[in-house]
């Protein structure tokens, strides 16, 4: 149902305005990440959206619901890792295996997940794992297999990856 609603919203946004997507990732050992991105309307018909098509992007990482750190493209430094591959037709972030690259998502964390700064926070989806970088250190215990899907929603999600129900 959520996927159908997201697709309908994306198609509507193609003609009107940019589309907002919310997402949540569940890592190992009670690590989670929430995020939000806004995609240019013209990019919603592309087979692959990249960071060049995104006008707003922010993430926050948690362990057991406690905030560990945040990162967003609005305050990123020129040296911050920033790679994104998203399939708008599937409402899915693409894995390295799908696109033939070693890293498909580098959100202030390179393929080694060790370049997020200190203090700093980042997320990496590489060919070895999906995982966090915290204060310049790879958090190996957060890791999940690279092919693990995560929730993408047209409405906000909380740190436990629950979708907020719209209130009328």
pLDDT tens digits along 22-66:
999 999 999 999 999 999 999 999 999 999 999 999 999 999 999
Q: Quick one: which of 45, 70, 44, 68 has its CA closest to 58?
A: 70
| 17 vs 124 pLDDT, higher one | 124
pLDDT band with cut points at 50, 70 and 90 for residue 10: very low
33, two tokens: 């990440």
Question: What is the value of pTM for the model shown?
Answer: 0.86
Domain ranges of the chain: 2-152
137: pLDDT strictly greater than 90: yes
Can you give the pLDDT at residue 31? 98
Would you state the pLDDT for residue 163?
A: 86
- pLDDT tens-digit series, residues 106-115: 999 999 999 9
pLDDT the model gives residue 166: 63
DSSP 157: B
What is the C-alpha to C-alpha distance for residues 154 and 105, in angstroms, rounded to an integer?
20
What is the share, in percent, of the chain residues with pLDDT greater than 90? 83
């Amino acid at each position: 149902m959520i996927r159908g609603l997201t697709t309908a919203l994306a198609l509507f946004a193609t003609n009107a305005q940019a589309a907002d997507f919310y997402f949540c990732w569940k890592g190992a050992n009670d690590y989670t990440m929430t995020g939000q991105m806004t995609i240019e309307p013209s990019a919603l018909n592309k087979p692959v959206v990249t960071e060049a098509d995104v006008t707003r992007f922010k993430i926050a990482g948690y362990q057991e619901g406690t905030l560990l750190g945040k990162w967003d493209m609005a305050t990123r430094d020129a040296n911050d890792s920033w790679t994104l591959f998203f399939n708008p037709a599937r409402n899915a972030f693409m894995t390295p295996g799908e696109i033939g690259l070693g890293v498909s998502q580098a959100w202030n964390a390179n393929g080694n997940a060790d370049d997020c700064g200190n203090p700093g926070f980042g997320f990496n989806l590489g060919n070895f794992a999906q995982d966090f970088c915290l204060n310049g250190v790879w958090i190996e215990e957060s890791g999940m297999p690279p092919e693990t899907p995560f929730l993408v929603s047209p409405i906000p999600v909380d740190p436990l990856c629950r979708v907020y129900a719209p209130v009328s």
